[in-house]
Amino acid sequence: MRFAAAVAGAAVRVAVEVWAAGEAPASGEQGPAALALRNLEAVRDFPWAGIEEEA
């Protein structure tokens, strides 16, 4: 669960960083929310169940 949360957080962080480095408006298809959703979509089919947490 921690790994999945870290991946989701990184997907959102990268989206905001990419948006902030460019000239795109804050809303719309090139805004940070849309970029974050596309990043999260890219990891949707990752086999999360195959990852076991080590204690």
Q: Flag whether pLDDT at 55 surpasses 90.
A: no
Confidence band, pLDDT 50/70/90 cuts, at residue 54: low
Distance CA 8, CA 14 (A): 10
Q: Is 27 helix (H, G, I), strand (E, B) or coil?
A: coil
pLDDT at 45: 86
The structure's pTM equals: 0.75
Give the burial class of 55: count Cβ atoms within 10 A of its Cβ; 0-12 exposed, 13-18 middle, 19 or more buried. exposed
Instruction: Show the tokens assigned to 55.
Output: 């204690």
Residue pLDDT, tens place only, 2-52: 888 899 999 999 999 999 999 999 999 999 999 999 999 998 888 877 777
Q: What is the pLDDT of residue 20?
A: 95
